Amino acid sequence: MYEEIPDDIKLRNSVRRYKPTEVPIDKILTILDAARIAPSWENDQPVRYVVVNEPRVLKQITSVETVTMGNAWLKSAPCVIVGVADPSKSGVREGIPYYLVDFGASMENLMLAASSLGLGTCWIGAFNEVRVKSILSIPDELRVVALTPLGYPDYPRILTPDESYSKKVSRRISLKDFSFFNEWKNPV
**Residues in touch with ligand FMN (CB under 6 A):** 13-14, 16, 71, 122-126, 168
Residue 168: CB minimum distance to ligand FMN, A: 5
Residue 14: CB minimum distance to ligand FMN, A: 4
Residue 55: CB minimum distance to ligand FMN, A: 22
Distance of CA 141 to the CA centre of its chain: 22
Report whether 25 contacts 91 (CB < 8 A): no
Between 113 and 124, CB nearer to ligand FMN: 124
Sequential DSSP letters for 109-167: HHHHHHHHTT-BB--B--S-HHHHHHHHT--TTSEEEEEEE-B-BSSPPP--HHHHHHH
Between 42 and 163, CB nearer to ligand FMN: 163
Between 23 and 145, CB nearer to ligand FMN: 145
Report whether 116 contacts 8 (CB < 8 A): yes
Residue 181: CB minimum distance to ligand FMN, A: 26
Between 125 and 139, CB nearer to ligand FMN: 125
Classified as helix, coil or strand, 180 is strand
Between 171 and 185, CB nearer to ligand FMN: 171
Beta strand residue intervals within 27-142, DSSP E: 47-52, 80-85, 92-93, 96-97
Closest CB to ligand FMN: residue number: 125
| Amino acid letter, 89 | K
Residue 96: CB minimum distance to ligand FMN, A: 16
Residues written for the chain: 188
